[in-house]
Every structure is written in structure tokens, then in C-alpha cells.
Amino acid sequence: MYFWLTSSTKGEPGPWDTIWQHSRIFFGPLPSEDEDIQRALLRTGNRSGPAVCHRSKAVQEDVDKIVDWALQTNTAAAIKGAGMIMLAFLGFLRFSELVQLRFADVSHKGGDSQLEDQKPIKKAKGRYRSGKPPSRDYASRLIKKTCVEAGLGSRNLTPHSFRGGAATTTIRRGVDPANVMRVGRWKSVKSFQGYIDPTPL
């Protein structure tokens, strides 16, 4: 309904403009301060959507540096933060999926670790050893603190930098974007493009 009211071709008044003109006849003219608000509201109807915002994306070297730092520091907080970052990057995980992981979701086969596909958003009732999942706030603060202490404070990495960073890194290595979308569980190309850092030619 809102789209119909505000959409018009350039140069022609749309249905919303016509309705507004008729209401001015009925209600009288607007005070001058309200006309500015009206113009701003009408301009918003002509926008097609927000521009894609490309935030800082983590690269493989960032993750390697964080893991090396955590192993040298050898504290529980450093290892926990680096582990979360590594899982987020290697698993193309959404932040909500990351905080809902359970220890049972990670299986070990030989020297490899594998994250079980468990539809994390729908089914996860993840619990840490204490029986409670970490809060989003705790996990976010831990990841940001880990990045800063590992020497990556200037990169402005956030918990969301690792999913997009993994996708960007994979595409730059020559993997078909359709396969990256499937592995990363993106449903639309439009949402996927917001996660990919533009690649220079």
C-alpha cells in the first residue's frame, strides 16, 4: 500500500501527490514548518532502498594472527575468543548461529574438526559447560576485545566481519559465488551482495 501511494514516474504526480493536493483543499494550507516535514516525507517515497554498506571484512591473515596470538597468550578468554572467531570464519556463521553452538555440534575425525549441519537458528538450544548459552553481548564484547588485544584494533572488526570476510576470501580464491551462497546459507543474491567486499579489478 505504501509503495503504491508513493510511487510515480518522474515528472508526473503520483497517487500520493494527488491525495495530498485534495487534502490541502479540505484542511487548508500547512504551516511553513510542516511543509518541510511534508517535503522530506515525500522524498523518502522516491527512494528504492538503502545503499549497500560494506563494513570491514576479516581476511584469512586476520584469523591466523588472532589464533597465533591466542595460542601465545594461552589464557582461557583469549582461546575462547579466538575459537569463536575461527568458527565464525570457517563456518560462515551468522552471529546468532555462533552463540547457539554446542560442544556436541563439533565432531572430530582424524586431525579435522567438522561443524554439524543442524539448522542452528531453528533447532539450536546451545549450552556451554555452565548450562547456559553465552549472551550476545558477552560474545560480542569478547570478540571485539580479542581482535583489539591481538593487534587488529585499527581494522574495526565486529562479530559480523567474519561471515562476510569468509565469503569474500573464498570468492577471491576463485570459488563460484553460487557455491559460496549455498555453503553460507544466503537465500537471496541481494542480501549476499551486502556481505561481499567489492573486489578491485
- pLDDT tens column, 109-145: 776 656 665 544 444 444 444 556 778 899 999 999 9
Among 58, 57, 59, 81, residue whose Cα is nearest residue 69: 81
Question: Which of 45-49, 91-95, 152-156, 171-175 is the least confident region?
Answer: 45-49
Q: How far is CA 195 from the centre of its chain?
A: 7
- Structural domain including 92 reads 60-195
Residues 72 and 18 both lie in one domain: no
CA distance 53 to 180: 20
Residues 117 and 150 both lie in one domain: yes
Q: In a 3-state reduction of DSSP, which class is residue 48?
A: coil
CA distance 141 to 77: 11
Number of domains making up the chain: 2
Residues 71 and 22 both lie in one domain: no
Cβ neighbours, 10 Å, residue 146: 24
| Residue 52 forms part of a structural domain | no
| Residue 50 forms part of a structural domain | no
Report if pTM > 0.75.
Answer: no
Residues 33 and 115 both lie in one domain: no
Contacts of 168 (CB under 8 A, 6+ apart): 57, 59, 195, 196, 197, 199
Q: Which residue has the higher pLDDT, 152 or 13?
A: 152
| Residue 133 forms part of a structural domain | yes
Residues 116 and 18 both lie in one domain: no
Assigned C-alpha cell, 69: 596470538
What number is the average pLDDT over the span 158-172?
Answer: 92
Residue spans of beta strands (DSSP E) within 82-145:
106-109, 112-115
What number is the average pLDDT over the span 73-101?
Answer: 91
CA distance 52 to 188: 14
Residue pointed to by grid coordinates 573464498: 170
| Residue 201 forms part of a structural domain | no
pLDDT tier for residue 190 given thresholds of 50, 70 and 90: confident
